[in-house]
Amino acid sequence: MATILAIETSCDETAVAIVKNRQVLSSIVSSQIELHKTYGGVVPELASRQHLEIINPCISQALLESGLTWQDIDAIAATCTPGLVGALLVGMAAAKTLAMIHSKPFLGVHHLEGHIYASYLTQPELEPPFLCLLVSGGHTSSIHVKDYGEYQLLGSTRDDAAGEAFDKVSRLLDLGYPGGPVIDRLAQSGNPKAFPLPEGRISLPEGRGYHPYDYSFSGMKTAVLRLVEKLKAEGDLPIADVAASFQHTVAKVLTKRSVKCALDHDLDTITIGGGVAANSGLRKYLQSAADQHNLKVYFPPLQFCTDNAAMIGCAAAQHFNLGHTSKLDLNVQSRMRIEQVMELYQ
């Protein structure tokens, strides 16, 4: 049983958690949404400074809430990739320093592997293989979880991430940031079939049809922009219908392609992660498509879908139990393929 203190600072949440294998002993998340709201998105330099200010109180609080002391901690972990380099550096420097001071092993964790582990956290019986659909503000990926530490990226977005598309559509409707929750709320009272929107298909070379699992959200966003301009010019903007039509299209596309991906790869389970996993339309569509095809689908609770350190600690615990640790000279990286996670360990 590995007890891990984990730190996550890859974007705009400063998070520290203590996890014992798949059990969360404490989980502190300090969101920077208020700080970045005025700018309509995350400002990297502000994010790093805020992480720096808040990281130490978050570490103390996580330890306090767990009721443990440093002696009870087996290893210290931090997200090392992918993410904003300045932001990642704060968490990594804190984790490495703690590892040195307390003479504990250190583990760097791939942020997307963390998101996959959110499902293990809340489904203790879950075992690979399965398909994980990761939909956040920075990522839209369908990952085949073949085994512990063994992944294959089967589909991803070619342009905007799904959450980013929600944020951009929200901005053009003057609804503020982040866009997902407010569009979701408005969509409840709108007609999802009011305005048909393009599904964003990715063409294969030489007219060989379309990529079955990849996504594109930028065309959908531009179509919403044109639609809003047209409706405004006509003097009537039925904002709930626009929100519902957009959400319906995103949810339908994500559902269709991930169900096909699971069926094509003989996988009977789909798990979901990232902030967009909170979307009520996506949850409804995916659940009913899964029921129709006899697939199991797991939605972790929202606090583990959005960025948090408990999922990072859970991934680190699994690696630590398998004898993996990272070197103290491991560096942060803005990008790294999920297939390469084992390169983080010795």
Burial 327-340 (b: 16+ CB within 10 A, else e): eeebebbeebebee
Piece in contact with Zn ion (CB under 5 A), picked from 132-140, 148-156, 251-259, 310-318: 132-140
Least separation, in Å, of the C-beta of 81 and ligand KG4? 13
Piece in contact with Zn ion (CB under 5 A), picked from 117-125, 130-138, 162-170, 259-267: 130-138
Closer Cβ to ligand KG4, 64 or 302, answer by number = 302
Closer Cβ to ligand KG4, 98 or 161, answer by number = 161
Radius of gyration in angstroms for the set of CA atoms belonging to the chain, rounded to a whole number: 20
3-state secondary structure of 182: helix
Alpha helices in 173-278 (DSSP H): 179-187, 218-233, 239-264
Of the candidates 30, 35, 36, the residue with the CA atom closest to the CA atom of residue 7: 30
Least separation, in Å, of the C-beta of 1 and Zn ion? 27
**What number of chain residues touch ligand KG4 (CB under 6 A)?**
20
Least separation, in Å, of the C-beta of 190 and ligand KG4? 14
Q: Which two tokens stand for residue 177?
A: 């940031």
3-state secondary structure of 19: strand
Residue 241 binds which entry of ligand KG4, Zn ion, none, CB below 5-8 Å type-dependent: none
**CA of residue 322 relative to chain centroid, distance:** 25
Give the Cα separation of 171 and 39 in Å (integer): 11
Closer Cβ to ligand KG4, 98 or 135, answer by number = 135
Closer Cβ to ligand KG4, 230 or 284, answer by number = 284
Give the Cα separation of 251 and 239 in Å (integer): 18
Residue 307 as a binder of Zn ion (CB under 5 A): the answer is yes
**CA of residue 226 relative to chain centroid, distance:** 29
Residue 129 as a binder of ligand KG4 (CB under 6 A): the answer is no
Determine which residue in the list 82, 108, 114, 275 makes contact with ligand KG4, applying CB under 6 A: 275
**Residues between 279 and 318 with contacts to ligand KG4, criterion CB under 6 A:** 279, 306-307
Residue type for 278, please?
Answer: A
Piece in contact with ligand KG4 (CB under 6 A), picked from 172-180, 255-263, 284-292, 329-337: 172-180
| Residues β-bridged to residue 139 | none
Residue 136 as a binder of Zn ion (CB under 5 A): the answer is yes
Residue 166 as a binder of ligand KG4 (CB under 6 A): the answer is yes
Residue 140 as a binder of ligand KG4 (CB under 6 A): the answer is no
Q: Confirm if 2 and 300 have CB atoms less than 8 A apart.
A: no
Count H helices, E strands: the chain?
A: 11, 10
Q: Confirm if 82 and 10 have CB atoms less than 8 A apart.
A: yes
Determine which residue in the list 82, 114, 149, 163 makes contact with ligand KG4, applying CB under 6 A: 163
- Write out the DSSP string of 263-308: HHTT--EEEEESGGGG-HHHHHHHHHHHHHTT-EEE---HHHHSS-
What binding mask, one character per residue, do residues 253-292 give for Zn ion by CB under 5 A, x or -? ----------------------------------------
Residue 180 as a binder of ligand KG4 (CB under 6 A): the answer is yes
Q: Which residues bind ligand KG4 (CB under 6 A)?
A: 11, 136-138, 163-164, 166-167, 178-181, 184, 274-276, 278-279, 306-307
